[in-house]
A = this chain, B = another copy of it.
Amino acid sequence: MRAAKLILILLCTWCFATLSYADPVADPLPSWNVGPTKTSIIDFVHAVTDEASPSYVQPSDRIATFDNDGTLWVEYPMYTQFIFALQRVKELAPQHPEWKDKPPFSAIISGDKSAMEKMTMHDVEQLLAVTHSGMSVEEFQKILINWLVAAKDPHFNRLYTQLVYQPMLEVMSYLRKNNFKIYIVTGGGQDFVRAYAQPTYGVAPEEVVGSTEKTKYGYANGVPTLTKLPEVLFIDDHAGKPEAINLFIGKKPIIAFGNSDGDQQMLEWTQSNSGKATLMLLVHHDDAAREFSYGPKSKVGTFSDALMQEAVQKKWHVISMKDDWKVIFPVVSIASQDQGK
């Protein structure tokens, strides 16, 4: 009898621990204000993970896709990857004295903002060619990591990797705990995002889908090498997003987060996941006090009136940074803020 009692005690302890873990009182999204957006996320996760629910989705089909720039981290007033390219041109300039008189490099080196604002698509391609190709894939990762550990945003005086949105980190963590498979689907460079996605978001390289250049396999002193070429393979933006999701994942998402016109087709593709419950959300940058307020007229992260209309019509959720988020960025120690340039 004493043995039976002991087993019962052990069992009860285990049950209690398990129940506490699943306690609904423990808020999975503490940085979100109570409201319809937060509720929609939590209700959705409950519905697709509860085996008794008619909306139950098996774990292998719980695909979540997140845009990156403006959805997971700051993109305004300039995409971080573009800032990297500009700074990289300056770093490389001493090895290229000919750039001093050659646009678009000359404008960057001299800091001629008015000339920089007039850059054409061809100019941008030239910048990307000299900063994003010609080296091995490993060398490029090293260059990026070296830059990312030190480069600071002048407006917030924070490392760029500290300008991620705390409420979105919580959503990713919450989905992960509920056996969702999380992908970043970004118009930005796949290699660029892979350089920091694992430590910053907990997203592995194979879960980052982005715009890519071609590579070329060869040998350097007999050692196999992949060299980055200045040729686009794939632009993962607008219609390119569902195309890339099909290419890389081969399944439709059930939940997708975006913030701009470039995410429209990804959200449509998610909603077309026939027979499954789906949730589509758009981060709206309406918080001039804590971040930025921009929308239809912004060149970066354009959130057009047409997208807003489609969101309303199709019952996509528009996340108000001002109203839905208690905090914007994670708390970081002064020490880590000081490690930047």
Contact = CB atoms under 8 A, between A and B. Distances in A.
Interface in A191-236: 194, 204-206, 208, 212, 214-218, 223-224, 226, 233-234
B265 A205 contact: no
Assembly stoichiometry (copies): 2
Nearest to A238: B217
Contact of A224 (B2, B181, B208, B242): B242
Interface residues of A, number: 38
A270 to B, nearest CB: 9
Contacts of A215: 243, 246-247
Contact of A208 (B204, B217, B240, B250): B250
26 contacts: A2-B3, A3-B3, A3-B6, A6-B6, A60-B204, A204-B250, A205-B251, A206-B250, A206-B251, A208-B250, A214-B243, A215-B246, A216-B239, A217-B239, A217-B240, A217-B242, A217-B265, A217-B269, A223-B272, A224-B242, A224-B265, A224-B268, A224-B271, A226-B242, A233-B233, A233-B234
A60 B104 CA distance: 42
Contacts of A242: 217, 224, 226
Contacts of A224: 242, 265, 268-269, 271-272
Interface in A291-331: none
